[in-house]
Amino acid sequence: MEGLLAQAKKVAAEAEVFVVSIEETSVEFEANRLKHIQSKETTTVALRLIRQGRIGYAVSTRLEDRHKLVKIAAETAQFGMLARFHFPHRTTYPQVEVFDPGVESIAIAEMIRLGEGLIASVTRHTPDIVCEAGVTKAVTSVRILNSEGGQATYRQSTFGLGIRGNLIYDTDMLFVGDIEISGHPLPESGVVAGRVIQQLELAKNQASLTTRKLLVIFTPRGVASTLISPLMAAFNGKIVQEGASPIGSKLGQQVFSKKLNLADDPKLAYRPQSRPFDDEGVPSQHTPLIQGGAVMGFLYDLQTAALANTQSTASGSRSGGGLPAPAPSAFVIAQGDTTFDEMVQDIKEGLVIEALMGAEQGNILSGVFSGNVLLGYKVESGKIVGRVKDTMVSGDIYRLLNEIIAVGSDARWVGGHLKTPSLYCPGLSVASKK
């Protein structure tokens, strides 16, 4: 890394080398049986430089490609954006616990046992179900070195356990599933199995909806599949900077229900999105985004922050191997005090959404969505009576989140990016096939 940086400094005023290496092992089950064991090693080397005031960039899989990286980065700098920032100096980083050596040492046999246990629990409940499951462990190493003296490194462990089940009767198909991800090894599969079994229980009967405007409860998975993509876009500093975020001009204003609180938090211990610094070497911070329904801030990387005359929120992310861009680490919606059962009991006729398909396909910036209920249940007189099918719902996330009736006391992680409780909202439009 030092060699590459030294060479880059010869052609550029400032330079930065970013290296990420991932070692991943996964055990995968198909049709209820063990099918694949996979090991993947990936290295990405990115050189970013500022040459004659402009940003140049090159990526490779090999540190040895020194000459090529410098040549390409210098070439692209002829056309690159004007740099409005300097690479960060050496600094101190917050203590964020993200590495558990226990993940690295967990044996493949143990991962197989976990996956088999998970499938056994689900098939014991519903013998006809066909499941795909995966158990994955990974260790990621991140290193940053820049010409301004900045240098930083961390290792991170992640362990994931997921299952997707498919149950078919004639041409009727039911899809259930869940996932759990942690920075620690997961000792058992009971939590994930329990959630899937609950989905199977609730979906046992079928029910049809009659009303066109309904009260709706989004479970944590429902929140993830319906409401989060538009919010992630709306709080992205780059989209705000471009004037394309519907809340971009509403800093400090009450836009959402007073019951809603949202923050971006990369400092939670042993979470897969946590880290001591972002992909530009800026120390991680907790960033409040919504407090009591008011817009509190947006997410920025160095360049976007400079353009917007503000500070980076340590949200520079290089997913996909490109230049850093603002992205959330983990969205955390604060939990409320209403239990899921209390929400259900409150509803005369309504809908519980566990998974919505297609909501992210539309115009996510506007907040208006339509989707097909992949897994959802009808509520009738305070009870879940069965699964709904052939049902399309549409709504506006800004209206839904402004009119929240209750926030659940059941906050949990959905994958790595989101921790959320159930949300109970009015006014979802429903179109069902007769």
Partner 1 sequence: MPTKEIAQELAETLKGFDADYIEAHLEETETSHLTYRGKELESIGRSSSVGGNIRALVKGGWGFVSFNHLDELRGKVELAVREARLAGNEKSRLAEVEPVVDIVPGGADKNPASIPLAEKKKLLDEYNEIVWRTPKLQTSIITYGDGHKKTIFLNSEGSYIEQERADITLRLHAIATEGSDVQQAGLSIGSRGDFEVISGLHQQIQEKVEHAVALLKAPQVKGGEYTVVLDPVLAGVFVHEAFGHLSESDFIYENDRLYQIMTLGREFGLRELNIIDNPTLSGLRGSYKYDDEGVSATKTYLIWEGKLVGRLHSRETAAKMKEEPTGNARAVNYHYPPIVRMTNTYIESGRASFDDMIGDIKEGIYAKNWYGGTTSMEMFTFSAAEAYMIRRGRIAEAIRPVVLTGNVFTTLKNIDAIANDLDMNQGGGCGKGEQVPLPVSNGSPHIRIRRCLVGGK
Using CB under 8 A, which residues numbered 42 to 101 contact partner 1? Answer: 42-43, 57-62, 65, 68, 72, 75-76, 78-82
Rounded least distance, CB 27 to partner 1, Å? 8
Alpha carbons 143 and 20: distance in angstroms, whole number: 6
The smaller minimum CB distance to partner 1, of residues 360 and 380, is found at 360
The smaller minimum CB distance to partner 1, of residues 35 and 204, is found at 35
Q: Sign of torsion, CA 52 55 60 62? A: positive
- C-alpha to C-alpha distances, 174 to 141, 246, 295, nearest whole angstrom: 39, 36, 39
Provide the 8-state DSSP code for 81. Answer: P
The smaller minimum CB distance to partner 1, of residues 62 and 89, is found at 62
Rounded least distance, CB 360 to partner 1, Å? 8
DSSP-derived secondary structure for 368-382: EEEEEEEEEEEEETT
Q: Select from 115, 103, 130 the least CA-distant residue to 162.
A: 115
Give the per-residue contact string, 278-297, with partner 1 (x = CB under 8 A; - = no).
Answer: --------------------
* Segment 394 to 423, residues that bind partner 1, using CB under 8 A: 394, 398
Size of the site for partner 1 (CB under 8 A): 74
Rounded least distance, CB 202 to partner 1, Å? 18
Q: CB of 387 within 8 A of CB of 206?
A: yes
Alpha carbons 425 and 218: distance in angstroms, whole number: 8
Token reading at 44: 């990405």
Considering only the stretches 36-44, 151-159, 214-222, 284-292, report the one whose residues sit in contact with partner 1 under the rule CB under 8 A.
36-44
Rounded least distance, CB 77 to partner 1, Å? 9
Token reading at 346: 């409150």
* Segment 185 to 224, residues that bind partner 1, using CB under 8 A: none
Alpha carbons 411 and 252: distance in angstroms, whole number: 25
The smaller minimum CB distance to partner 1, of residues 44 and 409, is found at 44
What torsion, rounded to 10 degrees, do the Cα atoms 107, 111, 112, 114 define? 140
* Segment 91 to 150, residues that bind partner 1, using CB under 8 A: 108-109, 112, 128, 130
Alpha carbons 401 and 236: distance in angstroms, whole number: 18
The smaller minimum CB distance to partner 1, of residues 79 and 95, is found at 79
40 is a site residue for partner 1 (CB under 8 A): yes
- Return the residue of 11, 20, 244, 385 that touches partner 1, per CB under 8 A: 244
Distance between terminal CA atoms of the chain?
A: 63
Q: CB of 223 within 8 A of CB of 423?
A: yes
Most distant CA atoms of the chain, gap in Å: 73
Q: CB of 114 within 8 A of CB of 161?
A: yes
* Segment 305 to 324, residues that bind partner 1, using CB under 8 A: 321-323
- Return the residue of 201, 337, 341, 390 that touches partner 1, per CB under 8 A: 390
The smaller minimum CB distance to partner 1, of residues 148 and 360, is found at 360
Rounded least distance, CB 225 to partner 1, Å? 11
* Segment 324 to 383, residues that bind partner 1, using CB under 8 A: 357-358, 360-363, 365-366, 368, 370-372, 374
Alpha carbons 202 and 185: distance in angstroms, whole number: 30
Rounded least distance, CB 315 to partner 1, Å? 16
Rounded least distance, CB 211 to partner 1, Å? 13
